[in-house]
Structures are given as C-alpha cells and as structure tokens.
Structure 1
Amino acid sequence: MKLFIATVVAAAAATATVLIAGSRQSESAEVGDASPIFGVHIPAGYRQWEMVAPAQEAEPLNELRAVLGNTVAIKAYKDQTLPFPDGTILAKLAWKHIQSPDFEPASVPGATTTVQIMVKDSKKYAATGGWGFGRFIDGKPVDEAQHETCFACHESRVKARDYVFTRYAK
C-alpha cells in the first residue's frame, strides 16, 4: 500500500512538473516580427492571460484598454512585489471606444488600435529600467521612433512603481 501511495504521489508530481513547464513554454513562445530597438515579440497565447486591469483613455486617443499579465506578473501583483521579477510580461490591448449600438449608455470596443508588450529582463534591458517594449498594429511592430518614447514616458511618470503604470484591479 505504501508503495502504491508513493507511486501515485510521484506520478502526480511528475504531471505537475510537465504542466508547469508547458505553461511556461507557452508564455515564452513568441509570434511575429520583433519590435525595433528592444526585440520584443507578441507572446503566443497572451489573450488567455489573467486581466490586471481595464482602462479608458480620454481624447485624443479615445480608447478602451485591457492589461493582461502572464503568471509571473500576476503573482508579483498579488504579492505586491516591486520591482517586478524577471520573466514578467504585460500585454496592453487597445480598441477605439465607441457607443454600444444595442444599449446607448454602454461603451464597447471598436476597431483594434494596438497591442503593447512590456518584458522584464533586468540584464538584457538594464538601460531601460529592466524593461523591453514592443508596440504592434495589426500584429506588426511600429517604427523605431515610436519605441524610443516608451521608456521616457514610463521613467518620468512611474519610476517608483518599477516603470509600470497599471495597478492591479482586485
């Protein structure tokens, strides 16, 4: 009986290890072209990540946004860990903000505007607070000039929060 229990426990541990490893691989898999300057890709499967927080951007952008985080990011938010650990990835999805055609008081997402990615790697991106940035339109990275402004904005406004604007919505 003890041998049976030990075998079941070992099998469960092995299965958990494989599932965790598979989850990490899917979070680190990349798709499409890399962003200029930082070489950041859109992570495969990012749309299945947990939501960090929604947001609404006023004029001139007039966007609805949702920030998603990989498991490393969500754990850091929940544990209130700053700085964020290496391996943290945040994805911001943005859509035009439009009035619902079905219910006038409601807003709904319109056309997709951008997907923006932040990747924490304190060695690779040491010059930019440990963060690499990517901004994509229709899955393609935008030009280099737009990427040059990412860190400057984060540095001037949210340096004390490890350069991250989005707060966790509980």
Structure 2
Amino acid sequence: MKPHQLVLLAASCCSVLLASVAMAMQASPPKEASPIYGVTLPDGYRQWQLIAPAQEGAPLNELRAVLGNRTAIKAYQSGAQPFPDGTVLVKLAWKHEQSPEFESASIPGDATTVQVMVKDAKKYASTGGWGYGRFVRGKPADEAQHKTCFACHEARAKARDYVFTRYAP
C-alpha cells in the first residue's frame, strides 16, 4: 500500500472511531417507564421549584415535597384550572424520623417513593388527563400499585383537576 493510501485509511478509521465514540456518549440507557401509563422520571426534576411540603400521618409517616416543572409553577401561580397539558408534578417522599439535635423536629429518613403526574388530556383521557408513575429507588412500582393511582385521585381530588397539592407561596 502506498503512503498516501495509508494516510487515507488511517483518517477514515479515525473518523469512524470518533463518530462511534460520540454516538456512544450521547446514548443513554432507556428510562424505565411506569406500567399502564408509560410515565418516566423527568430529567432534572430534583432542581425544580417547590410547590409545597407535606407531612403524611400514620400509617405512612412520611415527609413529602411536591416539585413542579415551569408549566406547573405558572399554572399554580395564575390559579389555572384545569392544569394545562405539559404540567408535570413530582412528589418526593421520605420516612420521617426524630431529629437528634432538636426534639421538636422531624427530619427525612429513608426515601420511600418518587411519584410523578403528567398532564396530557388526549393521551390520558380515560384518567382525567393525567398519567401516573410511582418509582422506588428509580425503578417503577408494579402494575398493581399503579392501578390505585387514578382511583385515589378521582375519589379525593376530582374537583381540583385530580391534584391534591395546593400551592404554598
């Protein structure tokens, strides 16, 4: 092989290798979706704005924080109901424990779940326009748990577009 052919071959191999590396770096493993609804954990949700904290009593005994994407925050601030498509709410939950420093305070203990609600009136028409996801350690809970989501929201929060959480400005 002539020298200029070797240079062309090497350049071609480098181009293929660089393209393969770039594609591999961009590819991420597929997200696991909730059964029934196909909801996934949203990217960057831990940086979203707080909508409201809550404390759940027995038997769950949890501390909770509900976060919302920009669409959710705008809807809460303007009082828009029903919530617009594109609204995403994320509830973080932890077991609450007694603070070792302050006897009157509870602190987050073990994380229990991350729950997600996604508003898409067409896609989730049969469930009030909302899709649900419940995740434990980043993995979706089973189908039986997801079957309880809409029934609970329908029974208790239908008048508020199936959303329990009220904005805490």
Q: Same fold by TM-score, threshold 0.5 exceeded? A: yes
Question: Conserved in 2, the CA contact under 8 Å of 1:35 and 1:134?
Answer: yes
Please list every run of 5 or more consecutive structure 2 residues that lacks an aligned counterpart in the other structure.
1-28
1:45 paired to 2:44: yes
Give 1:32 shift.
Answer: 2.8
1:96 paired to 2:92: no
With the length of structure 1 as denominator, give the TM-score of the two structures.
0.81
Residue of structure 2 in register with 1:138 after alignment: 137
Q: Secondary structure at the match of 2:144?
A: helix
Q: Percent identity?
A: 72
CA distance in 2, matches of 1:123, 1:95: 33
Paired residues for 1:103-118 under 5 Å: 103-118=102-117
Paired residues for 1:1-170 under 5 Å: 32-170=31-169
Of structures 1 and 2, the larger Rg is shown by 2
Question: Conserved in 2, the CA contact under 8 Å of 1:73 and 1:90?
Answer: yes
Letter of the 1:168 counterpart: Y
CA distance in 2, matches of 1:57, 1:123: 32
Residue of structure 2 in register with 1:14 after alignment: none
CA distance in 1, matches of 2:103, 2:47: 29
Q: Secondary structure at the match of 2:145?
A: helix
Q: Secondary structure at the match of 2:111?
A: strand
Q: Secondary structure at the match of 2:108?
A: strand
Give 1:105 shift.
Answer: 1.1
Q: Secondary structure at the match of 2:126?
A: helix
Q: Secondary structure at the match of 1:43?
A: coil
With the length of structure 2 as denominator, give the TM-score of the two structures.
0.82
Question: What stretches of structure 1 move > 4 A for 4+ residues in a row?
Answer: none
Give 1:102 shift.
Answer: 1.6
Give 1:104 shift.
Answer: 1.4
Question: Conserved in 2, the CA contact under 8 Å of 1:63 and 1:95?
Answer: yes
How many aligned positions are there?
A: 141
Please list every run of 5 or more consecutive structure 1 residues that lacks an aligned counterpart in the other structure.
1-29
Give 1:103 shift.
Answer: 1.5
